[in-house]
Amino acid sequence: MSLFTHRAYWRWSAGVQFARLPATMAPLAFTLLTTATTGSYRLGGVLMSVFVAAEVVCAVPVGRLLDRVGPARGLPALLLLTAAGYVVLALATHAPALVLVALVLLPGVSAGALSGAFRTLLAETVDDALLPRALSVDAMILEGVLIGGPALVALLDLAGTFVPLAAMAVACVAAAVLVPRRTGEPDRVESRDDVPAPRLATYLPWLGCAFTVGLLLSTIEVAPLPLVQRLGAPATAAPVVIAVLSGASIAGSALYAWRGKTGDPRLLLGGFVAGGLTLAAGSGWPGLLGSVALIGACTGPLVAATSVNLQRVLPKNRRSAGFSLSFTVQAAGFGLGSLAVGVLPLWVTPLFGVFAAAIAGGMLVRKPARAIGATSVTS
């Protein structure tokens, strides 16, 4: 079956995009909310920090709970719980700051495991041959969601401060409705005692890949302004860097989808090393745009290859927790990269991503995981 005529995949895709939309809306929505009610954007930053912290801390435990009850059964309830958290927050827009900080925990606790649960359902929605292409198409759509989320907040805020939060709740409800109820015919689902947790060495290289993606991307996405100012360009040139990064990522994912093969992530990590070193060197506009384009072109395929290989080494009864851990590790990499941009010289920050890519590639070279280049998905 072609992916473009695969109705179950497109239902899954619509559901996961609705589930992702609130996370892309949250930073601006929280900032506009607190600016309108307190006159300061700083509380919005605090709310976002607490929200992300709750996601990171609870992603794996909640994912493990979904593994026990089944993601197809538990995910709608989790989405509705997240929607309820946004509704409560919207109704409390004029509450004291400490109350808002406490209430933002409600959607944060349940939202952290959503991506991992949806990714687990994808394994049962499409077969092994379509999985690399499915992940690449999803990466391209995700770029649109990342851009559209803040734009939607800016538009909805014109109707009222609480409206973006209400829309975030509606998006969660829509995602709950679209959760695939009837998946394909998977292999026998193991009970909790059938398959032990995989050894750390089995999936550590793939977590390293996820961490590297977040770490190196943050160097670009958080610092487009200083990157262009280093070349003597005005601030208005900063969006060019993000446009090149996004365009290259979409092109890389499109090429990966066209090939429809997992490929070797070590080549993509090599692209990260080359791009990061060139970015650190600061070789004028050709070096900046060339390095950003190379990193962007490798990002989508590396994310897809990492996800495919993680699926191949994770037991079915631990996939929601495993994928949630992967997304959490990637977010941690982004956070640490953002911190590095704020406190270290600009030329130093890409070197952390280069080092992380080299370590992840070294783990795969020294003891290649069985999943690289495999043609079938196993547990």
Judge contact between 10 and 159, C-beta under 8 A: no
SS (H, E, C) 4-43: HHCHHHHHHHHHHHHHHHHHHHHHHHHHHHHHHHHCCCHH
Q: Which of 304, 255, 5 is nearest to 132 (CA)?
A: 304
- Beta-sheet strands, E only, within the chain: none
Per-residue confidence (pLDDT) for residue 375, from 0 to 100: 41
Task: Output the average pLDDT for the chain.
Answer: 85
Q: What does the buried/exposed string (b/e) look like for 182-203 if buried means 16 or more CB atoms within 10 Å of the residue's CB?
A: ebeeeeeeeeeeeeeeeeeebb
Q: Which of 267, 271, 273 is nearest to 358 (CA)?
A: 273
Quote the pTM value. 0.80
Per-residue confidence (pLDDT) for residue 374, from 0 to 100: 45
- pLDDT < 70 regions, the chain: 1, 182-201, 366-379
Per-residue confidence (pLDDT) for residue 196, from 0 to 100: 54
H-helix segments, 39-113: 42-69, 71-91, 97-103, 105-111
Note the pLDDT tens digit of each residue in 119-162.
Answer: 999 988 888 888 888 888 998 898 889 888 888 998 999 998 88
Note the pLDDT tens digit of each residue in 9-66.
Answer: 999 999 999 999 999 898 888 888 888 888 777 888 888 888 988 988 999 999 999 9
